[in-house]
Chains A and B, each alone.
Chain A
Amino acid sequence: MPEDSLSGLDESAIDAEDLEALHAGFRFCALPAMLDVRIRVMAAEQMRMQVAGSFSSVALGISPPAAQRRGLLGFGAASPWQQLKIPVSRLRMLTDLESAREEPVARPRHFADELPRELAAEMFRQIYEQCDDCDEERELEVVGVYHDIPPECAASIVLEEGLHHALFTPSASRNGRYASGYSLVALRTESGKLRRLLLRLG
């Protein structure tokens, strides 16, 4: 039986001459296809060896051409060395605290009823104290409490639209100090105006 037989074919049912022609035809078709496959396998193996060689030389700490010269790698250099290497050690890390302090810090809003009872009582006491002699409307509503806003940054405080956050900029502190324990209280007056108080609640 020819080596390249057609599996599953009942050859006894075919005339001998036709069978010979069929086998010849099959071999004719199969040969280029096999060659093509073989070429592809060889190309893939060569590429794999070249890539592996490049990485092997990375592990050795020398370039592929140098590795080849020293007989450590048995094949041609894959590519220019500088194009292969990712320069980990040469990647510069830069410090820039100034830029970080220029970026506003956001404090989330809390509602008065979320505060512990003693803290809420202290907050209302200070609000009455500070607003008692105000000429404005007497009815004030606490619409937001924002914890830990340093008084040194008071000039930079911005209330976000919707009052979800209060923003302050750390660079606004001229001496680089930030006192803790201060909370910003946003109050709405009867006429709808917004007032802000920075109270020490901590």
Chain B
Amino acid sequence: MQIISYLDIAHLRADSYAGGLLSVNELGIPVEFIHSEQIRPTELQASLYGSTLGRYLLLDVIGKGLAEASQQKGAPLVVASPDLLPLALRVRRPVCCLQRTENRPLSDSGATDWLNETELQVQLNETRSPLLFRIHSRENFQAERTVPGFSECARSFDVLEPLSRIRRILDSVQRQQAAQGA
């Protein structure tokens, strides 16, 4: 079974953060969803950590925490923002950030084209534009092993689509928690 994990971290009201990690199978059906509690740094913490606070919270606290709590430890991790790519230094799984392009299709499905050390285009669908994969390092991403899994999943579903679900699931969870608390 081919699994892809997706990570997004939402900056909520009142400077609090919550993250969600959704793992889907080769049909895009959820097999795991983990989310963090809301975390809200105090004003003193915000002053002391300064500009490093956001990075520390996103990468070391929420991102790494979710990735380590996941059962799908070997699955590639698609992050919602390039700011989360340094997670590649903190977890043992391929990390990438995906972006649509309007470039003309590459030769055939599964074809890759390295644009530079941290960006490659991958043709996942025979007729549509290639996707841009942003990565932290070639060593972490291991394109030769990781890309075929994305190609397999792309036969069934749009591999960017599950990311959009995470925010909606987080919203739904927050609403449930608020209703239970009321």
Residue positions of A touching B, CB distance < 8 A = 51, 54, 79, 83-84, 86, 88, 91-97, 99-103, 105-108, 114, 147-148, 150, 170, 178, 180
Tell me, yes or no, whether B168 is within 8 Å of chain A by CB: yes
Tell me, yes or no, whether B22 is within 8 Å of chain A by CB: yes
Contacts of B31 in A (CB 8 A): 97
Tell me, yes or no, whether B158 is within 8 Å of chain A by CB: yes
Minimal beta-carbon separation of A63 from chain B (angstroms)? 14
Minimal beta-carbon separation of A118 from chain B (angstroms)? 14
Measured in the bound complex, the distance between the Cα atoms of B37 and A101 in whole Å is 20
How many interface residues does chain B have, given as a range?
35 or more
Tell me, yes or no, whether B118 is within 8 Å of chain A by CB: no
Judge whether B45 and A178 touch: CB under 8 Å: no
Minimal beta-carbon separation of B158 from chain A (angstroms)? 5
Contacts of A99 in B (CB 8 A): 33, 169, 172-173, 176
Tell me, yes or no, whether B107 is within 8 Å of chain A by CB: no
Beyond A93-B35, A99-B169, A150-B27, is A84–B44 a contact (Cβ under 8 Å)?
Answer: yes
Which interface residue of B32, B35, B158 has the most chain A CB atoms within 10 A?
B35
| Residue among B34, B42, B65, B169 making CB contact with A103, cutoff 8 Å | B169
Contacts of B176 in A (CB 8 A): 99
Tell me, yes or no, whether B114 is within 8 Å of chain A by CB: no
Judge whether A94 and B156 touch: CB under 8 Å: no
Contacts of B30 in A (CB 8 A): 97, 100-101, 103, 170
Measured in the bound complex, the distance between the Cα atoms of B57 and A107 in whole Å is 33
| Residue among B29, B33, B36 making CB contact with A91, cutoff 8 Å | B36
Judge whether A91 and B44 touch: CB under 8 Å: no
Judge whether B32 and A95 touch: CB under 8 Å: yes
Measured in the bound complex, the distance between the Cα atoms of B9 and A93 in whole Å is 13
Tell me, yes or no, whether B95 is within 8 Å of chain A by CB: no
Beyond A106-B161, A114-B127, is A91–B37 a contact (Cβ under 8 Å)?
Answer: yes
Judge whether A97 and B32 touch: CB under 8 Å: yes
11 pairs from A and B in contact (CB 8 Å cutoff): A83-B44, A84-B44, A86-B57, A94-B37, A96-B173, A103-B168, A103-B169, A105-B157, A147-B156, A148-B156, A178-B29
Minimal beta-carbon separation of B25 from chain A (angstroms)? 8
Minimal beta-carbon separation of A195 from chain B (angstroms)? 23
Tell me, yes or no, whether B75 is within 8 Å of chain A by CB: no
Minimal beta-carbon separation of A187 from chain B (angstroms)? 22
Tell me, yes or no, whether B90 is within 8 Å of chain A by CB: no
Contacts of A105 in B (CB 8 A): 28-29, 157, 161, 165
